[in-house]
């Protein structure tokens, strides 16, 4: 069962971090799987957005921010202590927080999350500036006419004046709003709304220093002797073995990195779910034992996404994402379709 097929070779906190970085669920179509760091043309992009995306590599700050989210059965409100030096980030939590003792660091290549109660370091793909990259594509018409960007002036956040970028649907409903300090490009506040117009996610800096003293590089490392290092691929291997699934995943050369994996029960049968990222793009893969009927498929599929299904070794595989069918067919062949 522990056979890797390829050619050539949430906790609530996790949900809150995703909510803080998510902008809109749709992703633009593409003709091939996009590799990380493919250049995004910046001509015609609003100046404020340019300042924010370029500031992502240069902003230095230290502050306290509040994070809130309401996502299905998951809801939370907590504070974070954030230290940032360009692509290097460190997040800690107050001593009275349920996340007290946990530490998150990111260096542009990976994200490490330390759990002291388990003495465990979970390694994940970096978040980078997923939402800002989506806004760039949006400003260049990458989402067709379904969404539009509007610029505005914002209130002071943590004592700093801000300007805003809002994402609106075709009816003028705001789905995302970002508050940016225009001199540095620092994103100081963000609101996310659902289809009913209800705010379901936000973060806001209550205090922040945009000109702190130099940080030690050691702040952005987690290297604890004796701690168990766990990757999403480790979790996939464990769950696939436990539930009797083929251990099938997208290799790294495709540009897609496994973010998380879980098993969900549907009508008493396990479904193995993998979520991948490639910069701002998301791709979900489902594995189901036996056949999959249309009613079962409808539980997973969202109308704005394309879907590729196939059977292999007694299991049904489903790829779902904002890609054209050529890209999904290519990834399915990488995963072993037809072999």
Per DSSP, the residues of 145-187 read: TSEEEEEEEEEEETTEEEEEEEEEETTS-EEEEEEEETTTTEE
Judge residue 156's burial from the number of C-beta atoms within 10 Å of its C-beta, 0-12 exposed, 13-18 middle, 19 or more buried: exposed
pLDDT in tens, 201-254: 999 999 999 999 999 999 999 989 999 999 999 999 999 999 999 999 999 899
Give the integer Cα–Cα distance in Å for 336 and 218.
Answer: 42
Q: What is the CA radius of gyration of the chain?
A: 20
Closest CA to 10 of 24, 22, 27: 22
Give the integer Cα–Cα distance in Å for 84 and 157.
Answer: 17
Give the integer Cα–Cα distance in Å for 314 and 311.
Answer: 7
pLDDT in tens, 150-189: 899 999 999 999 999 998 888 889 989 999 999 999 999 9
Lowest average pLDDT, out of 101-110, 261-270, 308-317, goes to 261-270
* Mean pLDDT on 84-89: 94
Which domains, ranges and CATH numbers included, belong to the chain? 12-220 (2.50.20.10), 231-334 (3.30.200.100)
**Model-level pTM?**
0.75
Alpha carbon 131 to its chain centroid, in Å, reads 9
């Amino acid at each position: 069962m522990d056979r890797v097929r390829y050619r050539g070779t949430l906790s609530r906190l996790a949900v809150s971090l995703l909510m803080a970085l998510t902008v809109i669920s749709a992703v633009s179509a593409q003709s091939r799987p996009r590799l990380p760091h493919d250049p995004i043309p910046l001509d015609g992009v609003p100046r404020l957005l340019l300042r924010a995306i370029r500031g992502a590599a240069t902003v230095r700050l230290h502050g306290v921010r509040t994070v809130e989210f309401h996502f299905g059965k998951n809801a939370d409100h907590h504070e974070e202590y954030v230290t940032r030096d360009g692509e290097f980030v460190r997040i800690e939590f107050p001593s009275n927080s349920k996340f007290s003792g946990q530490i998150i660091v990111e260096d542009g290549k990976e994200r490490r999350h330390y759990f002291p109660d388990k003495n465990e370091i979970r390694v994940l793909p970096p978040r980078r500036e997923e939402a800002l990259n989506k806004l760039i594509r949006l400003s260049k018409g990458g989402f067709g006419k379904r969404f539009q960007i509007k610029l505005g002036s914002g209130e002071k956040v943590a004592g700093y004046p801000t300007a805003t970028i809002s994402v609106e649907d075709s009816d003028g409903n705001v789905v995302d709003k970002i508050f940016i300090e225009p001199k540095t490009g620092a994103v100081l506040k963000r609101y996310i709304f659902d289809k009913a117009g209800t705010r379901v996610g936000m973060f806001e800096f209550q205090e922040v220093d945009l000109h702190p003293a130099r940080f030690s590089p050691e702040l952005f490392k987690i290297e604890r002797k004796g701690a168990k290092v766990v990757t999403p691929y480790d979790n996939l291997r464990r769950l696939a073995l436990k539930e009797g699934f083929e251990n099938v995943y997208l290799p790294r050369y495709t540009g897609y990195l496994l973010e998380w994996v879980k098993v969900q029960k549907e009508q008493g049968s396990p479904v193995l779910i993998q979520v991948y990222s490639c910069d701002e793009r998301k791709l979900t893969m489902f594995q189901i034992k036996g056949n999959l009927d249309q009613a079962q498929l409808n539980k997973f599929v969202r109308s704005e996404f394309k879907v590729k299904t196939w059977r292999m070794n007694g299991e049904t595989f489903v790829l779902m994402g904002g890609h054209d069918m050529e890209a999904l067919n290519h990834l399915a062949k990488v995963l072993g379709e037809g072999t």
